Chain A
Amino acid sequence: MTERTIPTNPSPLWLAYTALCRIGAICTVELQKLRHDRTELITRAVQPTLWLLVFGQVFTQIRAIPTGSTPYLDFLAPGILAQSALFIAIFYGIQIIWERDSGMLAKLMVTPTPRVALVAAKAFAAGIRAVVQAIAVMIVAAILGVHLDTAPARLVGTVIALILGSAFFCCLSITIAGLVLSRDRLMGIGQAITMPLFFASNALYPVQLMPGWLQVINRINPLSYEVDALRGLLVNTPAALGFDFLVLVLASAAMISVAAALLPRLTVG
């Protein structure tokens, strides 16, 4: 058997290359899983469809939420897209506890994969799943008459925004998993934070309609930046795209680092 030479102190370049390989591998596996289990794609599309159908139609009818020249359904669709990505991403933290209990996480952690690469790979896998899910939701939205701008550059931007947003929330969930260590507690906290994150964002109503305190929360909620970007890209509302992406990149990078630092707690405990 041949000895392979391994750097004792991996250089940042080696780390980046390894991280890219691992992200590629784990994202490929994510797509393979989706291919084998297509029903999940359908079941997960039900809830966003209901939101668009019920909430969207009702609030369009009663004109309770003024959204200027944009029809309410158009305004709502990117918010629902972000919501479905959020739910998927939060679920990933719960899944990592399941992988801890099943021994899968230990197997992954014994491979020559830096922690941060492992977490980043999970984060992007969540992103990939969110993007595939988003395609389903966008088709539903188009059928319901939402005017989506599908210029290629805008779609690329949409994919990036969804991946970054999902990476952030996936790692937020892994971070909480690393803190509470038990599945039951994480499920509770996961449920307790996803709805507030959603309602305290601009997903359902314009910022201008919010009371002052909610506007403050909205400002520090990464979901709002994701929604703002998606809305600007897909339905052409005025958006601070550059700033949105800057916030999303920084927030997800920070969250990946925090989650990676807490990951060993899961297998030590």
Chain B
Amino acid sequence: MSAMPAVRCTGLSRRFGDTLAVDNLDLEIVQGEIFGLLGPNGAGKTTTIRMITTLLPPPRGTIEVFGADVAARRMAVRRLIGYVPQQLSVEATLTGRENVWLFAKLYDVPRLTRVRRVNEVLAGVGLAEVADRLAKTYSGGMIRRLELAQALVSTPRLLVLDEPTVGLDPVARDDVWERIEQIRADSGMTVLVTTHLMQEADERCDRVALMHRGRIQALGTPAQLRGNLGDGATLDDVFRAYTGDELADTGSIRDVRSARRTARRLS
């Protein structure tokens, strides 16, 4: 057992113009857990994720991924991470297999095992049968699963998923979550996932952090957080209790627009 956390953020901040997107954030993710970063649109989840995945240099604070400092050892950290961004993003004019193959190459999966590995992850997300169809013929749920395969092909130690279920119908949503749980069960991989849906986080995450206006308002297992409020409370109630805010009414035009764009690309 190592006590080293999978991710440790200390004093993390990021400002966009007048918006303090992430505000002095401290966070530790334990190895092997499914950790949910929860919050309404505009809470700062994506910004946090983008700093952890080396996409944004943090102006203030430090991040370590499995003990490696993100600012100092970017290339090393990138090899540890599998990343699925918020928007659905695959090459529509490539087949599913070709999409995964590209990432096997970009992560230097050795030539000898590459074909086997690509087949393995495609089967793992249930796309083996349709692997040779063009990705533009896939449904939203299938594209998400293809992205999971792309993120997994390098056998990362940390899987980072930004709103993996946004815009999916309930069946596809459950399907994606079941794959995530299966991956964790099989490999012991650490999973960091964001969502604005309290319900699914409650069901699927080992621990959650409630994020609001760039700060973490509460942290613990879903049961602990609900327990603080008494019988019958949901995570939605917990969120309201901590922030005094309704979930639905926050977030800027920018977030709404990007959510709409995602939804449109799906349909």
Q: Measuring CB to CB, which residues of chain A are less than 8 angstroms from any residue of chain B? A: 1, 4, 6-8, 10, 21-22, 24-26, 28-29, 32-33, 36-37, 99, 101-104, 106-114, 267-268
Contact = CB atoms under 8 A, between A and B. Distances in A.
B10 to A, nearest CB: 21
Contacts, number: 91
Contacts of B115: none
A103 B88 contact: yes
Nearest to A10: B75
B221 interface: no
Nearest to A267: B55
Contacts of A110: 53-55, 78, 81, 83
B13 interface: no
Contacts of B155: 1
B94 A1 contact: no
A106 B105 contact: no
20 contacts: A6-B73, A22-B105, A24-B105, A25-B105, A28-B105, A32-B95, A32-B98, A33-B91, A36-B94, A101-B261, A103-B88, A107-B84, A110-B55, A110-B81, A111-B78, A112-B108, A114-B75, A267-B55, A267-B56, A268-B57
A19 to B, nearest CB: 12
Contacts of B90: 104
A106 to B, nearest CB: 5
A108 B106 contact: yes
A102 B155 CA distance: 24
Interface in B145-179: 150, 155, 157
A141 B105 CA distance: 38
A32 to B, nearest CB: 5
B75 A6 contact: yes
B87 interface: yes
Nearest to B155: A1
Given A32-B98, A103-B88, A111 B54 contact: no
Contacts of A268: 55-57
A133 B103 CA distance: 26
Q: Which 7 A-B pairs have the closest CB atoms?
A: A103-B89, A103-B87, A25-B105, A103-B85, A111-B106, A6-B76, A112-B78
Interface in B76-119: 76, 78-79, 81, 83-91, 93-95, 98, 102-103, 105-108
Interface string B180-222: 0000000100000000000000000000000000000000000
A26 B57 CA distance: 26
Interface of B: 50, 53-57, 72-73, 75-76, 78-79, 81, 83-91, 93-95, 98, 102-103, 105-108, 134, 150, 155, 157, 187, 261, 265
Contacts of A99: 89
Contacts of B106: 22, 25, 108, 111-113
A29 B87 contact: no
Contacts of B103: 107, 111
Given A1-B155, A24-B105, A107-B89, 9 more contacts: A22-B105, A22-B106, A25-B105, A29-B94, A33-B94, A102-B265, A106-B55, A107-B150, A112-B106
Most buried by B among A1, A28, A112: A112
A25 B153 CA distance: 15
Contacts of B91: 29, 33, 104
Nearest to B150: A107
Given A25-B106, A32-B98, A106-B55, A112 B157 contact: no
Contacts of B86: 103
B26 to A, nearest CB: 23
A169 B108 CA distance: 29
A112 B90 CA distance: 18
Contacts of A267: 50, 55-56
Contacts of A26: 102
A88 to B, nearest CB: 16
Contacts of B72: 8
Contacts of B85: 103, 106-107
B192 to A, nearest CB: 13
Contacts of B73: 6, 8
A205 B105 CA distance: 45
B254 to A, nearest CB: 12
Nearest to B87: A103
B75 A112 contact: yes
Contacts of A28: 105
A172 B105 CA distance: 27
B187 A104 contact: no
Most buried by B among A8, A26, A109, A110: A110
A109 B78 CA distance: 9
A24 to B, nearest CB: 8
A104 B75 contact: no
Contacts of B98: 29, 32
